[in-house]
Amino acid sequence: SRPPGLHTVQRLYGCDLLSDGSVRGSFRVGYDGRDFISFELGSRSFVAADGAAQITKRKWEHDGIEVERLTNYLENSCPEALRKFIGYGREVLERKDPPDVHVSGYEEHGILTLSCHAYGFYPGIIGINWMKGDEIRDQETEWGGILPNSDGTFHSWARIEALPGEREQYRCRVEHAGMPEPGIFAWGEPGNGQCGNWACGNEEFGSVG
């Protein structure tokens, strides 16, 4: 018998899906921080850790109810739940939402400021670079960081200052896992042949949907 007063019972259920499609499962009970009784899927019997647990073992194996309940849970319910959770994780891990890219610009005091905005992308890793000709101009570029949207996607931007007469030389390069290849975007130059599968847009914006 156990001494009167407060005691702690801990129960641990678990199952594993093995690569060959089989299931491994177990149930363990601890009493006051010590092993008490355990059950392994397929054994249809309990392992008692001490004399007191032998009483529980005999009762549970005699009436068979606990054996059937645990077997059903470890063989069916637990693996089903595990497969569902794996699916949820895969959806998140494999989710790739490409960015909508918009290029804009404005001229003030003889300086042309070009902005390249990327909206609604996931995961939140993206490369946005301004190019002058074929050269990436990171030293002159200002980035806005990668910021979250309310729907779980992200947005970001990159800005660069240029001379108005050199506007034609600047392109925005965007690289993201949701895009089959990096996109090259220009301001106000539709159909210039530099965007590959990605639309350059109209007179005001370069965009990709």
- For residue range 137-187, what is the model confidence (pLDDT) as tens digits? 999 999 999 999 999 999 999 999 999 999 999 999 999 999 999 999 999
Residue 119 and residue 87 share a domain: no
Nearest in space to 102 (alpha carbons), one of 183, 191, 194, 193: 183
**CB within 8 A of 31, min separation 6: which ones?**
2, 7, 8, 9, 10, 52, 53
Percent of the chain at pLDDT exceeding 70: 89
Residue 152 and residue 86 share a domain: no
**Confidence at residue 2, expressed as pLDDT on a 0 to 100 scale:** 62
Q: Alpha carbon of 35 to those of 16, 48, 157: distances in Å?
A: 21, 9, 57
Residue 51 pLDDT greater than 60, yes or no: yes
CATH of the domain at 37: 3.30.500.10
Asked which of 94, 124, 154 is the last residue of a domain, the reply is 94
- Domain range for 106 is 100-185
Residue 175 and residue 120 share a domain: yes
Nearest in space to 42 (alpha carbons), one of 71, 17, 64: 71
Q: Please count the structural domains in the chain.
A: 2
Residue 61 pLDDT greater than 70, yes or no: yes
Q: Please report which confidence band the pLDDT of residue 203 belongs to, taking 50, 70 and 90 as the band edges.
A: very low
**For 188, which DSSP code?**
S
Average pLDDT, the chain: 87
The length of the chain in residues reads 209
Q: Please, are residues 147 and 132 in contact by the beta-carbon 8 Å criterion?
A: no
Tokens describing residue 92? 């998140």
Report the distance separating Cα 164 and Cα 172, nearest Å: 16
